[in-house]
Structure 1
C-alpha cells in the first residue's frame, strides 16, 4: 500500500471536495455501524481518507484512531476533526501493517472502501484480525466489481484501469466477487453477522463480522 501513498496524496484536496456518490446508501451503513458502537469502544478506522466517517461517528465511541497511508488525507482529516470539535478522533499516517497500530487490540476495526484497493486480501485480513479483540468487530464496506453491473462509464473505466494504473492515473483495484470477499473474511477468523449491498449496483458489500 505504500506505493499508493503518492497517488492518494495528489488526489487529497480534490477527494475532500467531491460529494458522496450515494448519500442514501452511505447514511444507511453509517447508521448500521453506529448501532454496533458503544461509548467505551476503542475504534480503529483503516483507510480513513479525509476523515468524514470518523468525525461523524466520533460521538458514538470512546476513541477513534483514524489512519491512512496518505499524509495529505490525514492533514485534511485533522482540520475537519478540529472544526467539528471531535477531540476523541486521532489521525495517524500509517499502513495497516505499521507497528504503530499494533499493541492493545481494538474493540472495533473499520475499513470502508479499502479492501478492493489491496492486492493481498488474505494478508490484509490477517493483519486486521490481529488488531481486533476476541469477540470484537470488523466492519467493512467493499466494492465488489467482479459482480458486474454499473453504468456504461464505470464499465469503460474498468476496461481502461490497467493503462490508467500504468500511467499513474489510477490505483490498484482488485476485482472481487461477494463470495470471494466473504470467504476471505471468514478465513481470517471472523463470523459474519450482518451483510448487505449498499448500493446494490454495482454492489458495495457491507459486512459486520465478529472475531472468533
Structure 2
C-alpha cells in the first residue's frame, strides 16, 4: 500500500481524532507563530486536514499546505472555505513540487512528518532551498530510534496489514546532524512538554 493510499483511507478517521497532547501542540504553535511576521509566506508540509495551517493564517500574509493525500486536502479545503490567505496543494514533497519557487518562503513547518519521509536528507535540502536567507524551519517528529521498544517489527507487521504507514527509525542526534548537513543554523530544541520520543526543533537558513 502506498503512503497516499494509506492516508486517503484514514483521512476521515484522522480528522476526527483529537490531538494526543493538546498542551504541547499549543506550545508548538505559539513558538512557530513567534517566528512569523504579517508579511510572511509559510509552507506547512504534510498538512493533513489543515489544522496547523489554519492556526497559522492569522499571523501570515499567506500559508500554503501540502499533503500527499487527496482526501486530506479535500477536508482541509472544506475547512478553509471562508479563509482567503491559505492554499492547499495535493502531491508529494519531491522534485515535482513546483508550486513555490526556490527562495520564496519565510518559513516551513513539518509537524509529524520527517519520520514518514523516505529520504530525509533530500527533503531537508529541498526545504532549505525553498527558504529565503534568514527563513525558519520548524519540525516536530517522532524519533523512534531513541526507544527500547521493538517498534520496527511491530510497525512492519502493522504496515503489512495496512494498519500503519512506512515509518523511519532515527535518533534525535541523527536528525540534528542531518539538519546541520543541509545547511541549517541556530538549531534550538524548546521544551514544549512533548513525549520523550518527540523531537521539536527550530532552525534557520543563514542570512
Residue of structure 1 in register with 2:97 after alignment? 99
How many angstroms does 1:48 deviate by?
0.1
CA distance 1:3–1:207, change in 2 (3 Å): same
How many angstroms does 1:160 deviate by?
1.4
Residue of structure 2 in register with 1:211 after alignment? 205
Structure 2 residue corresponding to 1:183, chosen from 177, 182, 198: 177
CA distance in 2, matches of 1:44, 1:6: 23
Give secondary structure in 2 for the equivalent of 1:57. helix
Asked if structure 1 preserves the Cα contact closer than 8 Å seen for 2:57 and 2:63, the reply is yes
CA distance in 2, matches of 1:123, 1:145: 20
Number of residues paired by the alignment?
204
CA distance 1:157–1:177, change in 2 (3 Å): closer
How many angstroms does 1:200 deviate by?
4.2
How many angstroms does 1:40 deviate by?
0.2
Q: TM-score, normalised by structure 2?
A: 0.92
Q: TM-score, normalised by structure 1?
A: 0.90
CA distance in 2, matches of 1:147, 1:197: 17
CA distance in 2, matches of 1:56, 1:144: 25
Q: Are residues 1:174 and 2:168 paired?
A: yes
Q: Are residues 1:24 and 2:23 paired?
A: yes
The gaps in structure 2 that reach 5 residues or longer are none
Residue of structure 1 in register with 2:120 after alignment? 121
Asked if structure 2 preserves the Cα contact closer than 8 Å seen for 1:197 and 1:203, the reply is no
Q: RMSD of the alignment, in Å?
A: 1.8
Asked if structure 2 preserves the Cα contact closer than 8 Å seen for 1:196 and 1:205, the reply is no
The structure carrying a bigger helix percent of its residues is: 1
Residue of structure 1 in register with 2:4 after alignment? 5
The gaps in structure 1 that reach 5 residues or longer are 150-154
Asked if structure 1 preserves the Cα contact closer than 8 Å seen for 2:44 and 2:64, the reply is yes
Give secondary structure in 2 for the equivalent of 1:45. strand
Residue of structure 1 in register with 2:195 after alignment? 201
Asked if structure 1 preserves the Cα contact closer than 8 Å seen for 2:24 and 2:194, the reply is no
Q: Deviations over 1:70-129 (max 9, x none)?
A: 0000010011112xx322111110211133234152111111110011121111111111
